[in-house]
Amino acid sequence: MNILAQSLAGGFFLGISYAVLSAGLALTVNVVEIINLSHGAFYLMGAYLAYSASSFPGLSLLFLAASAAGPALLGLFIARTLVNPLRKDHFSIAVGTLGLAILFEQAADLLWGDRALSVHPGAPLGEILGVKIYPWHAGEILLSGAVFILFFLLPRTKLGLAMRVLAEDEEMAESVGINTNAVRATAFSLSCALASVAGFVSAPGLVLTPTAGRMPLIFALVIVILAGTRRLLPVAALSLGLGMVTFGLALATSAYVEYILLLTAVLVVVSVRRGGLFTLKIERDY
């Protein structure tokens, strides 16, 4: 019973971090209208920063801030220099963002080596229903709350409104004087920061290798394709559900089986629904 509860909790917390990651990817798909294949690399970047932070226990908050600010600035730079000029060319965006992911992987290999690393979870804070709660679990709850508040408040700000108008109709957005490039760059930057912070907070639950960002990317793609990009609630609900299922699968079988099943899910979903499901807006229908 205890093992079952602990496993369910493991899947639940994995789902929370993937929900934040998927929310970031959904923002990019919706506003920038691209699929960023380096999104998982930003998640991994945050996780590796958490690993480095574990050597400086007193500076955790500083590292957390860096895990948000660094990728946000990097994302802003990438959006300005690569994404905005090339976003209408499928080849450039697909291969360009994949290239960035590979570059991050090589950098991680150089900085932290190719052996598997793990982050110590620290002392448990307590126990609820037989499940040990660690500081990173609390961090995930706080992060998910913060993301919900962000996505609740964002549409009520001028920037959020501009994002919504841009997501609806680019020409209309330009005609009312919205700086579409700046809005896209901000959305991309925010998405990168979300991915990185999700990786930072959930790092103790991960096994860190330079290519460990690929599975979260595939997971986020499955979520975004299935749940759509416009509502946060389906993204969160599906992430939690799928997080628990895949975590259980990984425990019962092996991590690679989990990854293969996720990949197969993408293959099936993309094949069955040529243009993606629900509101994944890449191509116009008319």
Partner 1 sequence: MRGKSLIPFILGLALLLPLLGPGPYHLSLLNSALVITLLTLSWDLLGGVAGQVSLGQALFLGLGAYGFSLLSTYLPPAGAALATAVVGTAFAAFFGLFASRLEGIFFALFTLCSAEVFHEATMNIPFILKGVEVGGEGGVPCLGGAGILSLRGLVVEYYSLLLFTASVGWFLLRTLRHPVGLKLRGIAENELLARATGLPVERLKFGAFVASGVLGVVAGIFSALHSGRATPSDFSLELSFQAATLSALGGRGTVTGPALTAVAVSYLFGALDVPPQVRLSLYAILLPAILLDLPRKALGLLRGSRTPLSSRQ
Shortest gap between Cβ of 86 and partner 1 (angstroms)? 6
Q: How far is the CB of 39 from partner 1 (least distance, A)?
A: 13
Number of residues that bind partner 1 (CB under 8 A): 43
Q: Which of 56, 85, 128, 172 binds partner 1 (CB under 8 A)?
A: 85
186-245 positions binding partner 1, by CB under 8 A: 214, 218, 221
- Count of CB atoms within 10 A of residue 142's CB? 11
Other C-beta atoms lying within 10 Å of the C-beta of residue 177 = 7
* Binding track, positions 240-279, relative to partner 1; x by CB under 8 A: --------------x-x--xx--xx-xx--xx--xxx---
Q: Could you say whether residue 283 binds partner 1 (CB under 8 A)?
A: yes
User: Contact with partner 1 (CB under 8 A): which of 86, 161, 249, 251?
Assistant: 86
> What single DSSP character describes residue 229?
S
- Give 176's Cβ-side CA count (13 Å radius): 11
Residues 6+ apart with CB under 8 A from 243: 11, 12, 13, 14, 15, 16, 18, 19
- In this chain, which of 8, 107, 154, 159 binds partner 1, going by CB under 8 A? 107
Contact (CB, 8 A) for 220 and 22? yes
Given candidates 6, 92, 180, 181, which one binds partner 1 under the rule CB under 8 A? Answer: 92
The backbone torsions φ and ψ at residue 79, rounded to the nearest 5 degrees and listed phi first, read -65, -45
Sign of CA pseudo-dihedral 228, 215, 160, 13: positive
Task: Please give the residue ranges that form the binding site for partner 1 (CB under 8 A).
Answer: 34-35, 37, 81-82, 85-86, 88-96, 98-100, 102-103, 106-107, 109-110, 214, 218, 221, 254, 256, 259-260, 263-264, 266-267, 270-271, 274-276, 282-283
